Structure 1
Amino acid sequence: MTLLCRLLSHIALIILLSACSQLTSVPADSIRLSRQLALQLPAPNALGQPFHATQLVTGQYGNQDFNGQFQLELTENKLVLLALAPWGPSLFSATLTPNNLTTSQTSVAQVDVRYMLADFLLTYLPYDALKQSLHGKEITIKESATRREIWLAQTLIIAIDYAPNPNVTAAKSRWQNHIHFHNHLRGYQLEIKTLTFTPAPLAQSIMAEPQPNAEP
């Protein structure tokens, strides 16, 4: 195993283990982000127009860094999030349909894939869809063209900055922005850079269907 892969698995495990005990009583259609906050999983089409994309995600937790490449696919009835290891194979995946969430991961990726999916949804869901999906007391979503903030009472818990992509000359899309995601609640940061983005209805999935609880 490469040093990069060990760092990715180790850091993600540290980030997620602190919250795992809070997930035991959460319904299958939601993800609990804290004791006061839960994210109800939306239908895939809440994210908008179908597309296929690849992204480079780098992150920081404490004084340690990690990165990975993601493949994303959105059709009318399905969202697929696939994380690739540096040597090529899949580390983990999440497939969201209107009635089901299926996750798959290798033993190398000791993470809760639902949290990866939650960060993705918090970043890209349109404002109205996100407002309907977040549940808890005293939640406030502050939104502008370049920034999204999620507040719990008087505490800022998540801040997302959308920096325009200089390579995009058409109408700006957040799918094509460079993004800084800061989870103040759990103390980690992500930088998301979209490498390729193709908005188009897809006749069929170009990704293989993940199998639940797959092992390498």
Structure 2
Amino acid sequence: MRKNRILLICGLLLALTACSSIRQQAPSRVTLAKDHPFTLPQPNSYPQKITATQLVSGKYKQQTHSLQFQVEQSPERLVLVGISPWGGELFSANWDGKEIKTSSLPAVSKQLQPLYMLADFIITYYPAKVLSPLLARGGMTLQDTPLTRSVLVDGKPLIQINYQYPDHWRGKITYRHIQRHYSLTIETIQAQH
């Protein structure tokens, strides 16, 4: 009896949070640092179609949170969905090259902004030849090697990324946004190319 009651309460809470999500359209531009905008590249500029499941741990101000991400990258769109430990959708971002549609639970939207998570993903995975001119338009430069990537402002690191393997869909990735004081550890559990 008690078990059924707990399941009913969890189900109701999940239904209520799903009903209260915030849906909005966002600009295709993200401010990575003060006075340094980054225009998102078109989804078709990524060289392959991929579907992936990732575990992402984020650290900000001594707090660490872990989420599962579902990623779908195709020439038509990039979709990023953050899933809670109980299996519910916390946020999503869908970029089709014309508009970005985001949705998130109200409590989540203040902490994890889907637009910024989308930009973090793009900076981590998109080819340097695609990113470099877009970052340059915002006054930033990109340094890229098979195992590291840095976004620089005035020669100083703004974002630092370390890859475990040259195939960035294998192993662990550490992403650090120096100015905003947060870091991500990304591990791809499953990827289908």
Q: TM-score range by the shorter chain?
A: 0.7 to 0.9
Q: Following the alignment from structure 1 to structure 2, what is the Cα–Cα distance between the partners of residues 122 and 151?
A: 12
Q: Following the alignment from structure 2 to structure 1, what is the Cα–Cα distance between the partners of residues 87 and 54?
A: 14
TM-score, scaled to structure 2: 0.81
Task: Compute the RMSD of aligned alpha carbons.
Answer: 1.7
Deviations 1:41-85 (A, max 9, x none): 111121221011000001222322111000001122111100001
More deviation, 117-126/107-116? 107-116
Give unmatched runs, 5+ long, in structure 2: 1-25
User: How far is 1:32 from its partner?
Assistant: 1.3
Give unmatched runs, 5+ long, in structure 1: 1-26, 165-171, 200-216
Q: Select the structure of larger CA radius of gyration.
A: 2
Deviations 1:5-40 (A, max 9, x none): xxxxxxxxxxxxxxxxxxxxxx92211112231111
Q: Which residue of 1 aligns with 2:116?
A: 115
Q: Which runs of 4+ in 1 moved over 3 A?
A: none
Amino acid at match of 1:136: G
Question: Within the alignment, does 1:40 sit opposite 2:22 as a pair?
Answer: no
Q: Following the alignment from structure 2 to structure 1, what is the Cα–Cα distance between the partners of residues 175 and 187?
A: 11
- The one of 171, 174, 199 equivalent to 2:168 is 174
Q: What SS does the aligned partner of 2:30 have? A: strand
Amino acid at match of 1:173: D
Q: Following the alignment from structure 2 to structure 1, what is the Cα–Cα distance between the partners of residues 138 and 41?
A: 16
Q: Which residue of 1 aligns with 2:164?
A: 163
Q: Following the alignment from structure 2 to structure 1, what is the Cα–Cα distance between the partners of residues 93 and 148?
A: 26
Question: Within the alignment, does 1:28 sit opposite 2:22 as a pair?
Answer: no
Q: Following the alignment from structure 1 to structure 2, what is the Cα–Cα distance between the partners of residues 107 and 28?
A: 19
Identity %: 33
Aligned residues of 1:80 and 1:96 also touching (Cα < 8 A): yes
Q: Which residue of 1 aligns with 2:138?
A: 136
Q: Which has the higher strand share?
A: 2
Q: Following the alignment from structure 1 to structure 2, what is the Cα–Cα distance between the partners of residues 84 and 69?
A: 5
Q: Which residue of 2 aligns with 1:9?
A: none
Q: Following the alignment from structure 1 to structure 2, what is the Cα–Cα distance between the partners of residues 112 and 163?
A: 26
User: How far is 1:108 from its partner?
Assistant: 3.3
Q: Following the alignment from structure 2 to structure 1, what is the Cα–Cα distance between the partners of residues 143 and 126?
A: 14
Aligned residues of 2:158 and 2:178 also touching (Cα < 8 A): yes
